[in-house]
Amino acid sequence: MWQAIGASAKGTSHINTGSPCQDAHGYLVSDNIAIAAVADGLGSAIKSYEGANLAVKISLEVLMKELKISIPANNDDWINILHDVFIKVRECLERAAKEDNLLLRDFGTTLIVAVIAEDWLAIGHIGDGAVVAFFEDRDESIQIISEPQRGEYANETSPITSTDAINIAHFSAHKASIKAVAIFTDGLQNLLISTASGKAYLPFFTPLFDGITQNINISESSIQLEDFLNSARVCKKTDDDKTLVVIGKCTT
Amino acid sequence: MPIPPKEIPFVEIPFETSNPEPRCPCVLLLDTSGSMSGVPITELNDGLRIFKDTLSKDELAMSRIEISIITFGPVKIEQDFVVASEFIPPSLHASDATPMGSAIKLALDRLDERKKIYKENGISYYRPWVFLITDGAPTDEWQSAAQRIHEAETKKRVAFFCVGVEQADMSILSQLSPRQPLKLKGLNFGEMFVWLSSSLTSASRSKPNEDVPLQSPMGWATV
């Protein structure tokens, strides 16, 4: 019943310098559970490409394993699972850094993980990027449910490799009836959130969520999403790597 | 009969295009005391025109970099903050003393006010730059201004650069900011402003936690 599409595309500033796309994403969906992870490797970290990819891989593995045992039924249990995911991601990055004789911060990356299961939406989030949810049972049906975390300056954010990452990260669990969720990295923030209102840009999310909750061709749609991220009109407004993952409950 | 699959309209899906660009404010603190008169002030004025011309080559920089000019001798806001695209290089005249201390304090105050305006309007911004250029030594009290610069630098509230021209008192300049002062080679303002323009352009494009890659100023300065 859950379906998902996703794509990461290299920013034009990285195409010019020949560096790899430092965004990574992954998702798994079944009839009753959907999980996704999105990471944005920091430009300042030499292994950010590896950092972002490892963070996504480990997040999905840990979530799968934990959710197989049981689906949490209260807020605290959800937060505990998300905590556990972030701790295990850090441990894995620490091991990778050690193997390469590098520092943890060389694998610097942001991380957003989202889980939809039964009537819960749970999110773990450190750094920038955001999550927008489409609720079945709220007046404001489309809203930002996890905000970008930024420092004072436009070029400051906290990676999962920072010393106090687990304290800085936001963990939240929402008991709600969810129709769809979109997760995106910093590169799309300025296109999908209106600065003045601080709200999700509805002319984008309304048709997006309308589509993802219908019978669509998943692989076709992922390719179309990637084309969109690489399109001239998007690249004109952002030169950063960009990732979008969309999960929806197919009702048709 | 099965319903044919729908499509998400990615080709024409609208997205937000009216968000303001993040801003990168820069204050030029320029010495217009009597000793600058003649060739130095002419070269400085030419330098400001080169600054604008160089910035004009980068469309994004033109909408992100904001420039203000405060002159000292006497202290005057010659140009309030404007985006680079609206910046018109002024023609400065040299006269009077070198009240550098009060000019620095005014620059730091103006930057605090500017940040407040950004915050009120939800505009994100980069770390501000102050670029001080002098050919002399302060004729007013400067120690408290130096203290404010050091505080602001420690808290990463500003990046404060000092450039000494000809007979400038480099020893006082080295006490003003924790950044080492640069000594302009001759009156090479042109090359200096090309450097400033490209450095600000890099800063205004920097990604989260990316160090701003600064080119060496060695083409126009000695340390």
Tell me the two tokens of residue A205. 């999310």
C-alpha triplet A222, A230, A56: angle, nearest 5°: 55
The minimum CA-CA distance between B122 and chain A, rounded to whole Å, is 6
Q: What percent of chain A has pLDDT over 90?
A: 83
Phi/psi zone of residue A22: left (φ > 0), alpha (ψ -120 to 50 degrees), beta? Answer: alpha
CATH number of the domain enclosing B146: 3.40.50.410
C-alpha span between B100 and B72 (Å, rounded): 6
Whether the bond between B14 and the residue before it is cis, its omega within 30 degrees of 0, is: no
- Overall average pLDDT of the A213-230 stretch: 96
The shortest C-alpha distance from B147 to chain A (Å) reads 22
Buried b (16+ CB within 10 A) or exposed e, B146-175: bebbeebeeeebbbbbbbbbeebbbebbeb
What pLDDT does residue B132 have?
A: 96
The single-letter code of the amino acid at A41 is: G
Ranges of each domain in chain A: 2-249
DSSP B192: H
Do the domain assignments include residue B121? yes
**Residue pair A226/B9 in contact by the 8 Å Cβ criterion:** no
Q: For residue A59, what is the enclosing H or E element?
A: helix A48-69
Whether B6 sits inside 8 A of A211 (CB atoms) is yes
Neighbours of B135 (CB within 10 A): 22
Residue B170 falls inside a structural domain: yes
pTM: 0.87
Task: Provide the domain count of chain B.
Answer: 1
Give chain A's mean pLDDT: 94
ipTM metric = 0.93
Query: Does residue B11 fall inside a structural domain?
Result: no
Does a structural domain hold residue B16?
Answer: no
Tokens 């840009």, residue located: A201
Pairwise pLDDT comparison (A204 vs B206), residue with the higher score: A204
> Is A156's CB within 8 Å of B209's CB?
yes
Domain hosting B120: range is: 24-205+216-222
Please give chain B's pLDDT, 223 residues, in tens: 566 778 899 999 999 999 998 999 999 999 999 999 999 999 999 999 999 999 999 888 899 999 999 999 899 999 999 999 999 999 999 988 999 999 999 999 999 999 999 998 889 999 999 999 999 999 999 999 999 999 999 999 999 999 999 899 999 999 999 999 999 999 999 999 999 998 888 888 877 776 666 778 888 888 6
Report CB contact under 8 Å: B126, A252.
no
Q: Are B139 and B101 in contact (CB under 8 A)?
A: no
Residue B71 lies in a domain: yes
Most B-contacting residue of A153, A186, A204, A220 (CB-CB within 10 A), to test interface: A153
Could you tell me if residue B56 is inside a domain? yes
pLDDT exceeds cutoff 60 at A15: yes
Q: Give the model's pLDDT for residue B214.
A: 75
Q: What is the pLDDT of residue B5?
A: 78
Say whether pLDDT at A16 is over 60. yes
Best B3, B7, B12, B13 member to test A by mutation, with max A CBs in 10 Å, is B13
Q: Given an 8 Å threshold on Cβ–Cβ distance, is A216 in contact with B123?
A: no
Beta bridge partners of A124: A113, A171
| CATH topology assigned to domain A2-249 | Phosphatase 2c; domain 1 (3.60.40)
pLDDT at B221: 87
Residue A156 has pLDDT above 90, yes or no: no
What is the predicted pLDDT for the residue at B222?
Answer: 83
Q: Give CA–CA dist A28/B98, Å, rounded.
A: 67
pLDDT of A101 > 60? The answer is yes
Task: Find out whether A71 and A117 touch, Cβ atoms under 8 Å.
Answer: yes
Whether A16 has its CB under 8 Å from any CB of chain B: the answer is no
Q: Return the SS3 of A206.
A: helix
